[in-house]
A and B are shown apart, each in its own frame.
Chain A
């Protein structure tokens, strides 16, 4: 029984005249201490998948079908109070923009201690020491002083470390990180990523990393999922998918990266654009943008096929040409 099992998760947004379906049945699992990457472009539904695990969907979004089994209990059926014991305690979250995640009018100390007090009945003094210890874990200089400073007094990178410290405060078994470094510069991103990698390994914490950056996923995660228009189109071992992608969309994503092309040559672009939630094409959602699509693809929906280690939802897998491995060019 995996630590976390999401089975056929469906999420809807009833909006007045029309109901938008953001997730069309997503299933994945996470073992203890395992690192899973969820990749996809904006509008693919990766953040919706993350937030629905903790039942934190913005109104009017709601889970319309499927299960989120965590340590045997289905989180989507839990009451608000039961859910509260899990959020921030067994599963914690890291948001994208460090500028917005910390409350601007409260000190760092208050925001850390309140999280501890909500889940552990310990004295303020103990909570303070634990918080300072965590701040030291994330390599924040002079943590005691930082406890009384306000978020606007810290830089972006420093703030994201505080958010990571908060996430680790209650020794969760899973951390969900929604694009943790997209808003940061590349040097700070490298530091935050290596920090998260070490902390997850030492504390044996599971990580769900949501990002649109294939390179970051290839560096940090062991397993990964590629999402397109609310569905999983490819999933399996990260290195296997990066070096030998099966689904045309994943191939297009990797080939579109500037790293993979000769300088000055035209990039191999994927034509068209991501379908909006209310205009998802019939059959395989990628067919209008796919060079290999035939009328079969435009009619019925391909299922995930292939060995557990590397599955793809496409009926044309075996007919696709050989894919030159990453870095072959250098």
Chain B
């Protein structure tokens, strides 16, 4: 990763996200879901920032909040210092060009009724209406080649491609507007291992040639170890540990991160020996009080049940855990 001066590109400050709970007159009231609880992160230029966590931990919700698909109910999101979470589509226009997204399901992220050419031309037609057809087609071809796609694909429909090929088309679409920041929501988890390597390589090459910054969402820790340079581990809408990849894998301090890393199946034939976590996985609807992990944490004491720990530096990584602060762990 090019070690640029650490100028923050995207700042996430105390973002909260609530779903449901609204008891409209006609629509029945749904239970209140606390998807994100005051999340604060900073993504620097050139980073491959990875967000890791199990299903239901809010990593995709945070990604959608950052890109503006679901504005957060509280807190700010800043892009190069100015707030973007409260802008209308019109005001967001300059930022939309700089921020793009790649999605998880290759079979649903391309409009089945539009040819690859139409899908790729659309962003240009919207943002650069003055651009001539020839210029647009030239740009589309250039980006397709840069991502290693065969321009002959342009006239075909999405159902004629395999998962891996579609994901590469999806990446090409994200690169059409020459963005600086790309949110990738589990781009490879729906693909086979051999195809995952192809797509990851394409993303790495694009990052180097276009000086991109990635917010990479995944539940696969081995991909994080390979791809990311900074990692945030999330649990039930809260960031429990934040660190450079090397430190996190070398010296994980938060009990949940330790359990998560031990659960990853290793190939060295050492069999299944993982840290057992007691209790049942709570849902975001009945969020435990204090530290969200206290119901399953072997080191939890009554302080953990009452107060919500803040992210603090502990020498190796930043953790939100009283046991680490008090040296009990």
Instruction: Indicate yes or no for A touching B, C-beta below 8 A.
Output: yes
B204 within 8 A of A: yes
A157: nearest chain-B partner, CB-CB: B281
Of A23-31, A75-83, A128-136, A187-195, the one with at least 4 CB within 8 A of chain B: A187-195
Asked whether A219 lies within 8 Å of B265 as measured between CB atoms, the reply is yes
Residue-wise, chain A 102-121 has the 8 Å CB interface mask toward B (1 for contact) of 00000000000000000000
A254 CB contacts on chain B under 8 angstroms = 267
B1 CB contacts on chain A under 8 angstroms = 264
- Residue of A41, A189, A258, A327 near B225 (CB, 8 A) is A258
A122 within 8 A of B: no
A270: nearest chain-B partner, CB-CB: B194
Asked whether A187 lies within 8 Å of B263 as measured between CB atoms, the reply is yes
B55 within 8 A of A: yes
- Residue of B205, B227, B266, B274 near A187 (CB, 8 A) is B274
Asked whether B267 lies within 8 Å of A256 as measured between CB atoms, the reply is no
B192 within 8 A of A: yes
A259 within 8 A of B: yes
A215 within 8 A of B: yes
Asked whether B219 lies within 8 Å of A213 as measured between CB atoms, the reply is no
B200 within 8 A of A: yes
Q: How far is the CA of A108 from the CA of B220 in the complex (A)?
A: 32
- Residue of B162, B226, B276, B280 near A267 (CB, 8 A) is B226
Asked whether B263 lies within 8 Å of A189 as measured between CB atoms, the reply is yes
- Please report the total number of A residues contacting B with Cβ < 8 Å: 47
Q: How far is the CA of A242 from the CA of B265 in the complex (A)?
A: 14
Asked whether B276 lies within 8 Å of A242 as measured between CB atoms, the reply is no
A186 within 8 A of B: yes
B273: nearest chain-A partner, CB-CB: A194
A42 within 8 A of B: yes
Within 8 A of B (CB), among A189-214: 189-191, 193-194, 197, 212-214
Q: How far is the CA of A275 from the CA of B195 in the complex (A)?
A: 13
Asked whether A186 lies within 8 Å of B192 as measured between CB atoms, the reply is no
B259 CB contacts on chain A under 8 angstroms = 187
Pull 8 A–B residue pairs with CB atoms less than 8 Å apart, ordered by A.
A188-B281, A193-B272, A194-B274, A197-B272, A215-B266, A257-B267, A263-B225, A266-B201
Q: How far is the CA of A256 from the CA of B195 in the complex (A)?
A: 9
A254: nearest chain-B partner, CB-CB: B267
B285 within 8 A of A: no
Give the interface residue-count category, chain B.
35 or more
- Residue of A189, A193, A194, A269 near B201 (CB, 8 A) is A269
In the assembled complex, the CB of A296 is this many whole angstroms from the nearest CB of chain B, namely 24
Asked whether B280 lies within 8 Å of A155 as measured between CB atoms, the reply is yes
| 16 more CB-based (< 8 A) A-B contacts, given A189-B263, A214-B267, A258-B225 | A155-B280, A155-B281, A186-B54, A193-B265, A194-B272, A218-B268, A238-B269, A256-B196, A258-B222, A258-B226, A259-B222, A263-B225, A264-B229, A273-B164, A273-B165, A274-B192
B52: nearest chain-A partner, CB-CB: A186
Q: How far is the CA of A17 from the CA of B221 in the complex (A)?
A: 45
Q: How far is the CA of A320 from the CA of B260 in the complex (A)?
A: 37
A57 within 8 A of B: no
Q: How far is the CA of A254 from the CA of B262 in the complex (A)?
A: 20
Asked whether A212 lies within 8 Å of B193 as measured between CB atoms, the reply is yes
Residue-wise, chain A 220-251 has the 8 Å CB interface mask toward B (1 for contact) of 10000000000000000011001000000000
A143 CB contacts on chain B under 8 angstroms = none
Asked whether B195 lies within 8 Å of A273 as measured between CB atoms, the reply is yes
Q: How far is the CA of A194 from the CA of B272 in the complex (A)?
A: 6
Q: How far is the CA of A154 from the CA of B280 in the complex (A)?
A: 10
A277 within 8 A of B: no
Q: How far is the CA of A258 from the CA of B193 in the complex (A)?
A: 9
A271 CB contacts on chain B under 8 angstroms = 198
A261: nearest chain-B partner, CB-CB: B226
A252: nearest chain-B partner, CB-CB: B194
Of all A-B residue pairs in the complex, the 5 with the closest CB atoms, nearest first, are A215-B265, A269-B197, A258-B226, A185-B54, A267-B197
A141: nearest chain-B partner, CB-CB: B280
B201 CB contacts on chain A under 8 angstroms = 266-267, 269
Q: How far is the CA of A326 from the CA of B267 in the complex (A)?
A: 7
Asked whether A187 lies within 8 Å of B277 as measured between CB atoms, the reply is yes
A42 CB contacts on chain B under 8 angstroms = 192
B324 within 8 A of A: no
A253 within 8 A of B: yes
Residue of A185, A194, A197, A215 with highest tally of chain B CB at under 10 A? A185
Asked whether B263 lies within 8 Å of A186 as measured between CB atoms, the reply is yes
B287 within 8 A of A: no
In the assembled complex, the CB of A43 is this many whole angstroms from the nearest CB of chain B, namely 9
A268 within 8 A of B: yes
B271 within 8 A of A: yes
B223 within 8 A of A: yes
Asked whether B225 lies within 8 Å of A190 as measured between CB atoms, the reply is no
Asked whether A239 lies within 8 Å of B269 as measured between CB atoms, the reply is yes
Q: How far is the CA of A242 from the CA of B205 in the complex (A)?
A: 29
A155 CB contacts on chain B under 8 angstroms = 280-281
